[in-house]
Amino acid sequence: MSPLAAVQQIYTRYKSNRDDTLYLGDGRPRAIFEVHPPNLSLADADTLESTAQQLASSSNSLPFAFQLLFRLNRRRS
């Protein structure tokens, strides 16, 4: 099995999105999940390390390729 090309190497058109599904240009559906992690802004180093290990374990156990999109909010001072 050859590895999939990076997203930077492939441009995919999408047709539409409804509910939690994105429809690619050729009609194939793709699921969209939104995850809200706990607020770790005040977490200590051990908690951050543990959370990173849990995320790595979860993502490494998936039998399929996936893509993550992060939305970072700026703090207002």
pLDDT digits (tens, 9 = 90+) for 4-40: 655 555 566 777 777 778 888 888 888 877 777 778 8
Q: For residues 51 and 40, is the Cβ–Cβ distance under 8 A?
A: yes
Residue 44 predicted with pLDDT over 80: yes
What is the value of pTM for the model shown?
Answer: 0.48
CA angle at residue 28 from 27 to 33, to 5 degrees? 120
Q: For residues 33 and 19, is the Cβ–Cβ distance under 8 A?
A: no
Residue whose C-alpha is closest to residue 17's, from 35, 7, 29: 29
